[in-house]
């Protein structure tokens, strides 16, 4: 049976590419998917295709394009060390430029369905990508955002006042990278916003990724359902 999702790498700006997954209908609301520190690897490509099957036009930008174009890494050993090195070298201004360019690129695609007020584009991401989704909500004019265990968001809460779109946060109960007090600070900073902060009992960092030892299927399934309902509710308005 032919895969109903079509995929290709596209140019976002010269030298900067992204993995594009189109839904079976060929059109739909846009979603910018931000990678973990491991690149647009097999898992991120599969997530792009998963949400494309759900009806979205998904673009997964290659965030490390300046250092290691289209790098695809595993989760342990030398690959993990290289991923950490790439992440530490990914400067704030570069990240903000990539966020703005990716949202603008996807919003301009003819496959992104029009709606009253123009094409609607959301964003989501995992770990480093969760932080980039948060930054997109604060700086890039997206229509909705979802951050899965976004590392470092609690250090950038000064930007919370700039968020105008609905936003949803997913955190693991047990996360060596994001302690409970960091989650509490996000919850406090987002009070008064259209925001949800969800914590998954028994889960650890990376619980969505089926290729990692920390994969926690009940939390991954619940989070996917919640994120999907949230994004559809805000991006599929008539």
- What value, to the nearest 5°, has the Cα angle with vertex 142 and ends 125 and 94? 65
Residues near 193 by beta carbon (within 8 Å), at least 6 away in sequence: 160, 163, 167
Is residue 238 predicted with pLDDT exceeding 90?
A: no
pLDDT in tens, 15-61: 999 999 999 999 999 999 999 999 999 999 999 999 999 999 999 99
pLDDT in tens, 9-24: 999 999 999 999 999 9
pLDDT in tens, 132-168: 999 999 999 999 999 999 999 999 999 999 999 999 9
Domain ranges across the chain: 6-235
Strand order in the sheet with 30-34: 6-13, 16-22, 57-61, 30-34, 121-126, 144-148, 167-174, 195-204
How long, in residues, is the chain?
238
What topology does CATH give the domain 6-235?
Answer: Rossmann fold (3.40.50)
Residues near 45 by beta carbon (within 8 Å), at least 6 away in sequence: 7, 19, 21, 60
Give the integer Cα–Cα distance in Å for 81 and 32.
Answer: 26
Largest CA distance in the chain: 49
Active site residues: 127, 175, 205
């Amino acid at each position: 049976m032919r895969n109903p999702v079509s995929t290709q790498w596209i140019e976002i700006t010269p030298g900067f590419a992204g993995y594009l997954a189109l839904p079976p209908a060929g059109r739909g609301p846009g979603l910018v998917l931000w990678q973990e520190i491991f690149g647009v690897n097999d898992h991120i490509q599969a997530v792009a295709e998963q949400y494309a099957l759900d009806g979205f036009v998904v673009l997964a930008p290659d965030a490390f394009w300046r250092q290691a174009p289209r790098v695809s890494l595993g989760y342990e050993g030398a690959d993990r060390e290289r991923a950490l090195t790439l992440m530490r070298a990914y400067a704030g201004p570069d990240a903000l430029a990539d966020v703005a360019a990716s949202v603008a690129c996807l919003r301009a695609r003819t496959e992104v369905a029009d709606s009253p007020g123009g094409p609607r584009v959301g964003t989501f991401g995992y770990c480093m990508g969760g932080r980039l989704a948060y930054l997109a909500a604060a700086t890039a004019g997206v229509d909705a955002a979802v951050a899965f265990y976004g590392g470092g968001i609690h250090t950038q809460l000064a930007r919370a006042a700039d968020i105008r779109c609905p936003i949803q946060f997913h955190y693991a109960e047990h996360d060596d990278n994001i302690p409970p007090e960091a989650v509490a600070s996000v919850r406090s900073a987002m009070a008064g916003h259209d925001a949800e902060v969800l914590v998954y009992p028994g889960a650890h960092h990376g619980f969505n990724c089926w290729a990692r030892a920390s994969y926690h299927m009940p939390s991954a399934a619940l989070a996917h359902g919640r994120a999907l309902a949230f994004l559809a509710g805000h991006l599929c308005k008539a």
